[in-house]
Amino acid sequence: PARGGACASTTADAGAPRGHRISFGEAAGAMPLIYLLMLACAAGLAAFVYRYDLCRREPWYMVALAVGLGFTVMWMAGAVEDLVFACFPALRVTVGPKAALVDVTETAARLVMVFTVATLFRSRFTVPLDGLMYGTLGGLGMAIEESLL
């Protein structure tokens, strides 16, 4: 019997040479495909939200603006989090304060994003459900930024 129990022979059973590990080059070669698939899923979700908007449909450039603004405010929220953690290293010690800071920062960023769209593009913000629409699309932009960076 092999050492290490049942888990010791899983790489040999999978057809890979014994002890074979994926190199950095192999993993890096797969990353563009992973990012492309992630962006395709994001585009599909945006199209789904846009398609089932039961009120007056938003123009495509407002959809792109909401996603881009979500991406931008998430990047800014990450910079704020890094700054706070650098100034107060004690917050990094336990999970609770770290999670609270991240939650408050990212929620505030999402509110800023929707408020910005509602204020600067008031003519396009016609019904209360538009806040939900722009909030969802901004959240999608935030998720894209979190996945890429």
Q: Would you state the structure tokens that stand for residue 95, as one six-digit string? A: 């999970």
CB 94 within 8 A of CB 100: no
Q: Which residue has the tokens 């585009």?
A: 43
Instruction: Tell me the pLDDT of the chain averaged across its residues.
Output: 77
Q: Calculate the dihedral angle through the C-alpha atoms of 101, 105, 108, 114, rounding to the nearest 10 degrees.
A: -150
In this prediction, residue 79 carries a pLDDT of: 92
In this prediction, residue 72 carries a pLDDT of: 92
Amino acid, single-letter form, for residue 33: L
Average pLDDT in the 57-80 region?
Answer: 87
- Per-residue pLDDT tens digits for 19-28: 666 666 666 6
* 80 or 2, which is more confident: 80
